[in-house]
Structure 1
């Protein structure tokens, strides 16, 4: 396997720029996920790493080799598409072994590699079955087997679970991560599903409008979002935002919201009065009758051990994640208190996080 470096890569189609100066490094053996909504540039970036698209500018290195303008056939990678792209007239064995046959490998070696890959994917009992009769999860395993059998430097996957139903998708998320660990692969995975990304990734690049908004470990991205977009895109429910105005000074440890003073992580910047937002995750909210920040309970959604309670306030609706045994009634007035060490502050004009004791890092890696 190999390290992948993407340095200031841009891709334009006429006057439209799909990817804007992306820079990141995927470590050898890392499971790396590009996450974002449709049209954000994640698949275009993946296709440039694969050689299916050539960048307008920038550089791509695979295992230290400059492959920027090499076509896919000249790169030692394997690509797994969203649609399984299997050959319906071939059985499982021949589908998996087809890339090796194209390379002119001896029959004995092909058979050995196919059986090793099938055993790894737990489909060795299906080798002589027609692919047309397989369930979606098994078809995806066949597509993965066709990639694994080549033993490439890197595996690239473009939303490979997108066509599976929820049960199969949850199963395949676990199996893909287990497979990655067993073969110590360098894997680049594209998805719009934050749950897939958070469950599998060592590192995540969150993309929006062709730009990497944040790059880092899943927990860091969740706990310390670099922008309002990331804070809203990651999390279910997403982060709550409470808008406020006023000046900020380095060293401040509180902000004022309609007369209520809210403790926040120490601010590391001086800012003139302007529109800002306080960000708080639902699980970092508690009900406290002593709080001056109050609202009326709109309703609740029961989730087993927890519940999501929606509260209408002067700052808009705020959602709190509380234990399911906390009894509330629609219309009830409650006070809201936040865990100050877990709050984020944002400039609502730029959408970027403000330097504070919680968030100090740069969005890219």
Structure 2
């Protein structure tokens, strides 16, 4: 397997710039996710790594070799598409073995490698079945098998679970990660589904409007979002983003919200005035009758042992995650308290997270 390094990667289609100045390094054997909304540039980036699109500028290193302007056939990678792209007239065995047949591998070796791969994917009992009669999850395993059988330097996957229903997708997420751990493959995985990325990835690059907004582990991205976009995109529900009118200077340890004093991690730099946003995850807020920051309960969503309570406050609708055993009533007035050391603060103008105690050490794209 191999390290993949992307430097200053750009791709323009006429006047439209789809990818701009993208940099990241994927360590050998890592499971790396490109995460973002439709049209953010993630699939274009993947296709450039694969050689299916040539970059307008920039460099792509695969195992130390610059392959930016080499054709796909000259790169030792395997691509798994969202649509299974199987040959309906061939059975499972012939579908998996087809890439080896094209490479001129001896039939005895093809047979051995196909059977090893099918066993790894738990579809060895289906080898002589027609692919057209298989369930969606099994067809996706066949598509994965066709990629794995080649033993490439890297696997590139473009929303491979997008057509599966929720139950199958959750199962395949687990299986894909276990498979990755067994074969120690360098994997680049494109998805718009944050739950897929957060559950499978070692590293995530979050893309928006053609740029990488943040690069980090799932935990870093969840705990220390680098931008307002990341804070709003990652998390279910997303981070609460509350406008702040306070002016804050370096060293400030609190801000004022609707007349209430809210403790924050100590500021490491001056914050621009009148354009700040306070970020708080729903689980980092609790009900507190003594708090001066108050609102009215609007609604409740039950999640088994927990519940998400929406509270309407001045200037914001705040979601609070609390145990389901806490009784709340629509229209009830409540006070809200924040876990000060877990809060984020953003510059509304630039969208950038301002440095605080919790933001030290975060990775930025």
TM-score tier by shorter-chain length is over 0.9
CA distance in 1: counterparts of 2:337 and 2:270, whole angstroms: 26
Query: For the Cα contact (< 8 Å) 2:271–2:354, is it kept in 1?
Result: no
Aligned equivalents of 1:362, 1:224: Cα separation in 2: 7
Distance 1:167 1:133 in 2: 20
Q: Is the 8 A contact 2:216 2:362 kept in 1?
A: no
Q: CA deviation at 1:362?
A: 5.9
In 2 relative to 1, CA 244–334 (structure 1 residues): closer, same or farther, beyond 3 Å?
same
Closer/same/farther in 2, CA of residues 27 and 227 from structure 1, 3 Å limit = same
The question of whether the paired residues in 2 share the 8 Å contact of 1:213 and 1:363 is answered with no
Count of equivalent residues: 365
Contact in 1 for aligned 2:240/2:281 (Cα 8 Å):
yes
Q: What corresponds to 2:115 in structure 1?
A: 115
Cα pair 1:204 1:216 within 8 Å, conserved: yes
RMSD: 0.8
Q: Give the alignment's TM-score, normalised by structure 2.
A: 0.99
Q: Which runs of 5+ in 2 are unaligned?
A: none
In the other structure, the counterpart of 2:47 is: 47
State the match for 2:337 in structure 1: 337
Q: How does 1:107-146 map to 2 (within 5 A)?
A: 107-146=107-146
8 A contact 2:226–2:364 mirrored in 1: no
Partner-residue secondary structure (3-state), 1:334: strand
Runs of 4+ in 1 over 4 A off after TM superposition: none
Secondary structure of 2:299's match? Answer: strand
The more displaced of 242-251 and 90-99 is 242-251
| Cα displacement string for residues 179-223 of structure 1 (whole angstroms, at most 9, x for unaligned residues) | 000000000000000000000000000000001000000000000
Contact in 1 for aligned 2:31/2:201 (Cα 8 Å): yes
Deviation string, structure 1 residues 4-52 (Cα, Å, up to 9, x no partner): 0000100000000000100000000000000000000000000000000
Tell me the CA shift for residue 363 of structure 1.
4.7
5+ long unaligned stretches in structure 1: none
Of residues 206-215 and 246-255 in structure 1, the stretch that sits farther from structure 2 once superposed is: 246-255
Superposed counterparts of 1:115-264, under 5 Å = 115-264=115-264
**Cα drift, residue 247 of structure 1:** 2.0
Q: If the length of structure 1 is used for normalisation, what is the TM-score?
A: 0.99
> Which digits, 9 at most, give the CA deviation of each residue in 1:217-268, with x for residues without a partner?
0000000000010000000110001101232211111011121110001111
Whether the 8 Å CA contact 2:227–2:353 is kept in 1: the answer is yes
